[in-house]
Amino acid sequence: MITLSRINLINWYTFERLSVDLRGSTSLIGPNGAGKSSILDAIQVVLTGNNRNYFQLNASANVTAGQTRKVGENRSVFDYCLGRVAGETLRTNCLSYVSLVFERESDGYCWTVGIAMSAVEGEQTETVLGAFIAPGQSLRDADFIEESKDGASYVLPYADLVTRLRTHEGFENFGHRPTHFTRRVLSVLGGKGHHADPEKFLKALRNGLRIREMKSATEFVREFLLDPAGLDVDGLRKSVATWRGLLKKIDDLEVQKKQVTEAIAAYRELDEKVSEETRMRWIASKAERDRLEEHLRVVTGQHEAKLAEQDLVDRRVVRTRETVGRLREEIRDISRALDNDTREQAIREFRDLNLPIAERAFTEADGQYQAYFAAIGAVAGLADRIVRTYAGEEYRHASEALEALKARIADGAALSARDIDQIVVQLLPPLERYVTSAQDAREAHLASLPASGSSCARTASSSRAWSAAAR
């Protein structure tokens, strides 16, 4: 339920600023002229939007026990704004605010509805500056007052008040459109789907504030409830039928509501199950993702280690290939040296010998090598003399072979042992025959010369030594 919780008056009758908080049943008690009726009139002015066709100011003062009496003055909104009391004017130029605060008991939500008016003495009536509705705001009298720099208080201009209230959502400013304003107030306070008749509401409000004695219930019904045109029985019957139809519709809607509620409960239970299943799947997926990420991290580390190991192996392979290349080149060099050097046997045996033994073997082999070539030189000279002496064909071939051998040695040509052996093999047969024939001739000659035997013996020994060296 929504109730009136506060009345705010600024420059209204004798009140410069006043906020009246209402709770439960409220009584206004005071002497005549204290302003009790002015507060009720302020409620009329706000709810009607200052529409003179629908309010009667100080209505209760003109009726006592059903009789009309005259009072010393007829009150008006203009008089309330200027503060006229018993012919005295409290304000000559003023800005007046009258506002009501309504509160919803269920949650304490508030609405402030009000009207702003200005009045200047000497004019005929007040000027309505605007009517407003401020949802969600519970204004007090202090909200309409501002202080200047020198500490003086003054009433906040309506334009400034509107600017301040617009900062809240839903604020509405209506200007001076009383019927539209009242309809909007009833719609806002009635809630969504509520459509009240402003004219009937204003009539009931005016009659309710008259506060006069009713002689019977019939008079009350005719005066306050029924239209002046009389009772429409057919219309009433239709209304009753409509009301019964609405009751049945309400029952049907209650059944549908129950079914919908059960469906919503089942849906929520299903939604909770699906949500729980989805959550568990998400947890399982997250765990699997974490496991795969860890496995990927391990595999990545192993892969990087393998790459580093492979890089090390590649560098070793490159170095090994370079070493193999150098060794192959050295082997080729050694092979060429072995094919061209007469000391190949010594070099082969050198691999199994230590350095001192190898040096001694090399010295001995080199000495033999030099003696060998010296013998070849001697044989070449001897062969040359044999050719000149005997001029034999076989001796000429031997001499040519020796000359070719001497030329290759002089030119520093590479000779293998095989080449030298072939040449020597060609020389030995004719030289042996020559030596044999020479020895026979010398021995025969020495036999015929006894006196010179020792000298000839020495010559024969030298010849046999040379022949042995040649072999």
Which of 27, 80, 82 lies closest to 58, judged by CA? 80
Q: What are φ and ψ of residue 35, in 5° steps?
A: 110, 20
C-alpha span between 310 and 398 (Å, rounded): 67
- Residue 271 pLDDT: 92
- Residue 66 pLDDT: 44
Kind plus residue range of the DSSP H or E element containing 112:
strand 110-120
Cβ contact 429:398 at 8 Å: no
Report the interhelical angle of 178-190 vs 36-48 (nearest 10°): 90
Q: What are φ and ψ of residue 139, in 5° steps?
A: -80, 155
For each of the chain's 471 residues, which pLDDT tens digit applies? 889 999 999 999 989 999 999 988 888 888 877 788 888 899 989 998 988 887 778 755 544 434 444 444 578 899 999 998 877 889 999 999 999 999 998 889 999 999 999 999 989 899 999 999 999 999 999 999 998 888 888 999 999 999 999 999 889 998 888 888 988 898 888 877 777 778 878 877 777 776 667 677 887 777 666 665 566 778 778 888 999 999 999 999 999 999 999 999 999 999 999 999 999 999 999 999 999 999 999 999 998 998 898 888 888 888 888 888 888 887 787 777 666 654 555 555 555 545 666 566 667 666 666 666 666 666 666 655 565 555 556 666 666 766 776 676 666 555 555 666 666 666 666 666 666 776 777 777 777 765 544 444 444 444 444 444 444
Kind plus residue range of the DSSP H or E element containing 350:
helix 344-350
- Residue 95 pLDDT: 94
Provide DSSP, 114-129.
EEEEEEEBTBSS-EEE
- Residue 136 pLDDT: 92
- Residue 392 pLDDT: 58
Tally helices (H) and strands (E) across the chain. 12, 12
- Residue 86 pLDDT: 76
Q: Residue 144 has which token pair?
A: 């309409």
Which of 373, 407, 382, 349 lies closest to 462, judged by CA? 382
Cβ contact 164:31 at 8 Å: no
C-alpha span between 251 and 245 (Å, rounded): 10
CATH 1.10.287.3510 fits 2-229, yes or no: no
Provide DSSP, 42-110.
HHHHHHHTS-TTS--TTGGGGEETTEE---S----HHHHHHTEETTEES-SEEEEEEEEEEEETTT--E
Instruction: Locate the domains of the chain by residue range.
Output: 2-229, 355-470
C-alpha span between 19 and 141 (Å, rounded): 6
- Residue 288 pLDDT: 92
- Residue 114 pLDDT: 95
76: buried, middle or exposed (CB in 10 Å: 19+, 13-18, 0-12)?
middle
Residue 342's CB: how many other CB atoms inside 10 A? 19
- Residue 320 pLDDT: 85
- Residue 62 pLDDT: 47
